[in-house]
Structure 1
Amino acid sequence: MIVHIWRHPKPIAAEGFCIGQTDLSVDRRKLKCLANKIQRFVRLHRLPKVIWVSPLQRSLRVGQILAQHGFECRMSKELAEIDFGIWDGQAWAQIEKQEIDDWCDNFAHFAPDNGESLQQLFNRAESWLNKVAAEQNDMPVLAIGHAGWINAAKMIAASQEVPKLANEWPRPVGYQSCSRLEF
């Protein structure tokens, strides 16, 4: 199975904040720009007009624009970014240094209160990929996702383990960039 997944456009006022499932808005022009980019890609490669999105508006709203242009928009909670629990939406500077150190030292399994660990994100991503692969009959999959989720999926595609230390985590993919994953 081949998955083409775009990272959502840059949200408004996210700089310096821990953003996982905090539902930030995005400039409408940026949403339209990504929707146009995906439409051109689909036309060029003659792909089905089906797009998977997360429930977070920075992904979902692009899917809604595409739906106005004949796409089938499928929403899945499994595509959402990692849940940082009580950290989500807070300024990084306000999160206790010891908690961040604990996370960095146990990167795979640490989870902020009411949040999820990186291992849980990997499990969720792998579950979605397996489910979609079973439904797709070798058809390419198009999706709009989030940096952490995309990095996890890339590592799964490369048969890599969940990083145990923070310095093993790859840099985030760029906003509105497309990653091609083969499973």
Structure 2
Amino acid sequence: MEIYLIRHTRPQLTKGLIYGRTDLPLAESFEEEMINVRSILPEDIEAVYSSPSQRCSHLAHAISAKPLLDERLYELHFGEWEGKTWDTIDRMASEIWMEDYMNRRPPAGETMLEMKERVKSFWDEIKATGKQRIAVVTHGGVIRLLLAIEGQIAIENMWERVISFGEVVCIST
């Protein structure tokens, strides 16, 4: 089984924006990035799954006429910090969160371990489908967690793995 993990293309960003679940418009580079992603993927993809975020679903629709949107593929929920910039939130609160983001949550958000559980639930389900080639359009954090779940990176070092916009990572199981 081959599963192609695809990070969404570049969104329009404000520097320092906290945008886990915040829906952002796509950058002007979408068309070029989408063509590059499609050139990497094999033609015999049997199913395409996507985060419901516009920055993912738009790419998923360019890959498949009927992508399956799954809320378990959302990025980390930053709660009350969503849509703000790092320099505008309470610095002490953000430092406390960063000291143990695996177990602590932003105000009204989720912990990384909670995110890992929802992502693992999705992963276990698609691995049981019997399909041989699947594409998953999602976020950098989700891809890093999946690589950790598959033992390809250590979860405690997951942020060291750079996942570029429009990058395709293939996992064979």
For normalisation by structure 1, the TM-score amounts to: 0.84
The separation in 2 between residues aligned to 1:37 and 1:78, in whole angstroms, is 26
**8 Å contact from structure 1 (residues 108, 162) kept in 2:** no
1:12-54 Cα deviation digits (max 9, x unpaired)? 1242111100000003x53333332333233xx3422532111
> Among 151, 157, 165, which residue is 1:158 paired with?
151
Aligned equivalent of 1:78: 72
Contact 1:108 / 1:119 at 8 angstroms: preserved in 2? Answer: yes
2:25 maps to 1:35: no
Alpha carbons of 1:14 and 1:124: their partners in 2 closer, same or farther (altered >3 Å)?
Answer: farther
Q: Which residue of 2 aligns with 1:52?
A: 49
How do residues 99-178 of structure 1 correspond to structure 2 at under 5 angstroms?
Answer: 99-135=93-129, 137-158=130-151, 162-163=155-156, 169-178=159-168
CA offset digits 1:142-163 (Å, max 9, x no partner): 1111111111111111176643
Identity rate, percent: 20
Q: Which amino acid aligns with 1:48?
A: I
| Equivalences, count | 173
Report the AA paired with residue 58 of structure 1: R
Identify the residue that residue 18 of structure 1 maps to in structure 2: 18
* Counterpart secondary structure, 2:128: helix
CA distance in 2, matches of 1:96, 1:40: 43
CA-atom RMSD, angstroms? 2.1
Shift of 1:170: 2.3
- C-alpha separation in 1, matches of 2:119 and 2:133: 17
Q: Which deviates more, 73-82 or 30-39?
A: 30-39
Runs of 4+ residues over 4 Å off in structure 1: 159-162
Q: How big is each residue's C-alpha offset from its partner over 1:124-180, in whole Å with a ceiling of 9 and x where there is no partner?
A: 111100011111x151221111111111111111176643xxx76324411111112
Q: Distance in 1 between matches of 2:23 and 2:6?
A: 18
Whether the aligned pair in 1 keeps the contact of 2:144 and 2:158 (CA below 8 Å) is no
Q: TM-score, normalised by structure 2?
A: 0.88
**Deviations for 1:82-131, whole angstroms, at most 9, x for unmatched residues?**
10000111110011111122112222111012111000111111110001
**Contact 1:82–1:118 under 8 Å retained in 2:** yes
Unaligned runs of 5+ in 2: none
Change (3 A) 1:117 1:18: same
Distance 1:39 1:101 in 2: 39
Q: Structure 1: how far apart are the matches of 2:46 and 2:33? A: 15
